[in-house]
Amino acid sequence: MAEPGRLTREDVAHVAALARLHLSDAELDLFTGQLAEVLDHASDVASLDLAGVAPTAHAMAVTNVLRPDEVRPGLDRDEVLGQAPSVEDHRFRVPRIPGEAP
């Protein structure tokens, strides 16, 4: 399997944007070096020949988990909304979503 190239500053900036994180120039420099070092260490895994080995996403997989179809109380609405940063008419309130009319 081809090993990916070394992580660049541009890669980190791109990934930060995907993860909705804003990084200062100093943070970008610091994180690029640190993350590249971790990925370099992980290249021992990337270079292994594991063709034909099945991946394990979950060590103790359980399937078809259902609970009895019984009505149970949910969370208290006011208690949940009481923890929200902004609420209007019993709903979570957020700033404008781009593309929508203001």
Chain positions 80 to 99 lying near another protein, rule: CB under 8 A, are 80, 82-86, 92, 94-98
Question: Mask 6-45, x = binds another protein (CB under 8 A)?
Answer: -x---xx--xx-xxxxxx---x---x--xx-xxx-xx-xx
Cα–Cα dist 12/37, whole Å: 13
- In sequence order, the 6+-apart residues with CB closer than 8 A to the CB of 47 are 1, 3
Chain positions 42 to 61 lying near another protein, rule: CB under 8 A, are 42, 44-46, 48, 50, 53-60
Beta carbon nearer to another protein, 41 or 90: 41
- In sequence order, the 6+-apart residues with CB closer than 8 A to the CB of 12 are 23, 28, 31, 32, 35
